Each structure stands twice: as C-alpha cells, then as structure tokens.
Amino acid sequence: MNHLATHSAETLAARKAYYDRIGADSMTPLWEVLGALVPPEPRSPAVPHRWSYADVRAQVMEAGTLISAAEAERRVLILENPGLRGQSCITQSLYAGLQLILPGEVAPAHRHTQSALRLVLDGEGAYTAVNGERVTMRRGDFIITPAWTWHEHGNLGSEPVVWLDGLDIPLVRFLDAGFAEKAGERSQGVERPEGDALARYGNNMQPMDEEQRAGDPTRLFIYPFAQTRAALLAISHGMPDAHLGFKQRFVNPATGGSPMPTMGTFAQRLPAGFSTRPYRCTDGTVHVCLEGGGEAEINGQTHGFEERDVFVVPSWHTLRLRARADSILFSYSDRPVQKALGLWREERL
Ligand code: 1HN
C-alpha cells in the first residue's frame, strides 16, 4: 500500500466494503500485505533469549515429582521462544526441550518422521537406544535419532539425567508431513552390542555393501564429547577465525553432509578473552554452552551464559560472542534446509 497517497473517506470506505465482500469469498488483496510478505530482509517474530540451566533444572526436577517418564511418554519442558509462545518453537523451524529421566525409569519406544538430537547436560547412567543399539549418555555427548528410527531412553544409574532435545518439529508441522508410531512392547530388543555403530561408521571406514546418498541421515548416531573436545583443542593453535573462533560442523562421515537432513550441528571453541566480530546468518541458531562461559551480544543486547545454559539467536540477528573462560559451545540450526533450497546467507561484519 502506498502510505504517501491520501485518499478521500469515500475511496477508503469503498475499498473497505470491497475487501469485506471478497473476504466472504475467501479472497484478500495482495497490495495490503505485500510489504510484509516480502520484507527487504528477514524479520523474525522469534526473539533472542537465554535459559539459565540452574533455573530450568530446578523446574524440570519438580516435574519429576509430578509425573513419571512412562506416563508422560517423554518428560520434557519445552523451551518456548518468548516471541512464539504456544507454538512449541524455539525458532520458527526448530524445537528445543530439556528432558529428565530418573533412576529406574524408561521412556518407551516410539518412532516419528521428525529427526531428533540429544545433547547430554547433566547426570550419568542413562542410555538411549536407536534401532536396537544402546548408547550410554555422557555429559556433552551429541546423539542422533534419525527420522523414523525406533528410540527409547532408560536410566540404569542412581542419579537424574537431563539432556537437551533438538527436533525439527515446527518444520515438519509446517510441511504437514509428520507420522508417528508407538512400539507395542515397552522396550525394543537389543540387537547389537554398544559401540557397534561407532566402530562401523565412526572410523573413516564404511561397510563394503552400504551406499549412502547425499541427504541420508548418518548411521553413526553418537558423537562422543571426549572426541569433539579433543578435536577442538587440537585445532586451537594459531589464530581463531575472527567471526567464529575455532568452529567445526558435524558431518555424516559417509557423505560429508549434515548428520540429519533438516538440522545442522556445530561445535565451537572460544579461547578465554576472545571476542568474535559481529556476524549474522539466515539460520536462527540454538546454542548450548558445554564448557566455560561468557556473553552473547545479540543485536546490541547482552545475554550472559554459563555452563549448560541455552540461548537462541534468531535469523539475521547480529551476534558477537565473548568468552570469559576457555569455552566450548554446541549449536544447531536449519542451515542444511536453507542451503538445499538456495536460501542461506551470511554476513561477516
Ligand atoms: C521425542 O520423541 C522425544 O524421543 C523428545 O525423547 C522430545 C518432542 C516432540 C516430539 C517427539 C524423545 C520430543 C519428541
């Protein structure tokens, strides 16, 4: 709409009457909404936000007194973006939640077309099982549940275990492409010993008779933090990238592509005292501080973060990170989707 034009009350009334009439036939004029439909640059309704782990932990523990993992199916507190309340979203395309499993509990097996990642934050003794293989969850481990794989969780230890779930729920919902199924039995059978997938797919080798296509999810479903951390430390010589520090993307080792087609995953080391130059990109990104702490300046507003805190940087918001101590951050976004569609952009300021 041309806001500079002045119109008589008569013209405006005639238009309004016309809009009402066509509205009754499920039509609406483009010229009233064109600017909002194709803005000059991304204007996300999502807002920057940080969740303090100390606060969330207390609240998820309280949930542990109110409902069992079995009754809840998954006992999770969703981290809802304050700009998108009621939509189970942390960005327009992504979901995040903190899941609690208490000693002796089982979260029963199911599968869905949504892909999931787990980032273990707190406690020891839990496992997750993916397609018949269990993996012990250790702090900082990054574990994947590819689309349509059976998965369940259990806690065989003596302490509560908490991890972050990252899923492509809002994206799949947007596409109306979601299916889900519950397993009849509570627990899937164990078909292979622990460590099988890591040995088979995580050692620069592949089985002779398996071909993976670009975009296929990884069969390596655990990226142990011990390895990620050692790799980040080993590359931390010389100058860090001015905008990213020492940052690596996780890959499906069979294809070089993202471990999951819908979510890109990253690990980053920032030496103590290091500040990144301002950076923005079109993929709204969820960050988790695994070690250290510092500050995220997002569009000029400062959000402090400590170990295990989660913060979200919406699309096209300018980010500067400052590390107070040697820090390791994990992050995830919808970057592979945007890249596949030719939409992804970044700007190094
Ligand atoms: C799910 O399957 C899990 O398996 C966690 O632990 C969170 C959120 C929405 C839909 C499915 C899990 C989920 C979820």
- Taking the CA of residue 153 as reference, the ligand 1 atom at the shortest distance is 6
pLDDT of 187 strictly over 70: no
165, 151 Cβ separation under 8 angstroms: no
Rounded distance from Cα 269 to ligand 1 centre (Å)? 28
Of 267, 63, 299, 242, the C-alpha closest to 162 is 63
Domain range summary for the chain, segments of one domain joined by +: 49-348
Q: For position 186, what pLDDT does the model report?
A: 60
Paired strand residues for 289: 329
Distance CA 245, CA 243 (A): 6
Distance CA 208, CA 250 (A): 23
Nearest CA to ligand 1 atom 7: 165
State how far Cα 72 lies from the chain centre.
22
Q: What is the mean pLDDT of the chain?
A: 96
Nearest CA to ligand 1 atom 10: 169
Residue 72 CB: number of other CB atoms within 10 A?
A: 16
Instruction: Identify the band that residue 337 occupies on the pLDDT scale cut at 50, 70 and 90.
Output: very high
Q: What does residue 114 show for φ and ψ, rounded to 5 degrees?
A: -75, 140
**Per-position DSSP letters for 41-64, written without gaps between them:** S---S---EEE-HHHHHHHHHHHH
**Residue among 77, 163, 165, 182 to mutate when testing ligand 1 (max atoms within 8 A of CB):** 165
Paired strand residues for 134: 129
Rounded distance from Cα 302 to ligand 1 centre (Å)? 31
Rounded distance from Cα 88 to ligand 1 centre (Å)? 12
Whole-prediction pTM: 0.96
Q: Is 9 exposed, middle or buried (0-12, 13-18, 19+ CB in 10 A)?
A: exposed
Q: For position 288, what pLDDT does the model report?
A: 99
- Return the H-helix or E-strand segment holding 112: strand 106-112
330, 267 Cβ separation under 8 angstroms: yes
pLDDT of 42 strictly over 80: yes
Q: What does residue 296 show for φ and ψ, rounded to 5 degrees?
A: -110, 120
Instruction: Identify the band that residue 215 occupies on the pLDDT scale cut at 50, 70 and 90.
Output: confident
10-19, 158-167, 206-215, 269-278: lowest mean pLDDT where? 206-215
Per-residue pLDDT reduced to its tens digit, 238-260: 899 999 999 999 999 999 999 99
48, 314 Cβ separation under 8 angstroms: yes
Of 245, 343, 232, 237, the C-alpha closest to 294 is 245
Instruction: Identify the band that residue 141 occupies on the pLDDT scale cut at 50, 70 and 90.
Output: very high
The arrangement of strands across the sheet holding 246-249 comes to 49-51, 310-313, 285-291, 327-333, 264-270, 246-249
Distance CA 261, CA 146 (A): 9
DSSP assigned state of 323? E
The residues near 270 (Cβ < 8 Å, ≥ 6 apart) are 240, 245, 246, 276, 292, 294, 321, 323, 326, 327, 328, 329
Angle at 181 between CA 179 and CA 182, to 5 degrees: 155
More confident residue, 183 or 317: 317
Q: For position 312, what pLDDT does the model report?
A: 99
- Taking the CA of residue 107 as reference, the ligand 1 atom at the shortest distance is 6
What is the maximal distance between C-alpha atoms in the chain? 78
Q: Is 294 exposed, middle or buried (0-12, 13-18, 19+ CB in 10 A)?
A: buried
143-147, 182-186, 218-222, 340-344: lowest mean pLDDT where? 182-186
pLDDT of 1 strictly over 60: no
Percent of the chain at pLDDT > 90 equals: 95
| Ligand 1 binding pocket, CB closer than 6 Å | 74, 76, 97, 99, 107, 112, 116, 151, 165, 167, 169
Residue 263 CB: number of other CB atoms within 10 A?
A: 27
pLDDT average, residue stretch 282-310: 98
More confident residue, 103 or 238: 103
**Residue among 115, 144, 167 to mutate when testing ligand 1 (max atoms within 8 A of CB):** 167
Rounded distance from Cα 74 to ligand 1 centre (Å)? 6
Per-residue pLDDT reduced to its tens digit, 117-134: 999 999 999 999 999 999
- Taking the CA of residue 78 as reference, the ligand 1 atom at the shortest distance is 8
Q: For position 189, what pLDDT does the model report?
A: 79
Whose tokens are 């406690």? That residue is: 123
**Residue among 73, 75, 76, 117 to mutate when testing ligand 1 (max atoms within 8 A of CB):** 76
Rounded distance from Cα 90 to ligand 1 centre (Å)? 14
User: What fold does the segment set 49-348 form as a domain?
Assistant: Jelly Rolls (2.60.120)
Rounded distance from Cα 80 to ligand 1 centre (Å)? 15
Per-residue pLDDT reduced to its tens digit, 2-37: 455 689 999 999 999 999 999 999 999 999 999 999
pLDDT average, residue stretch 297-312: 98
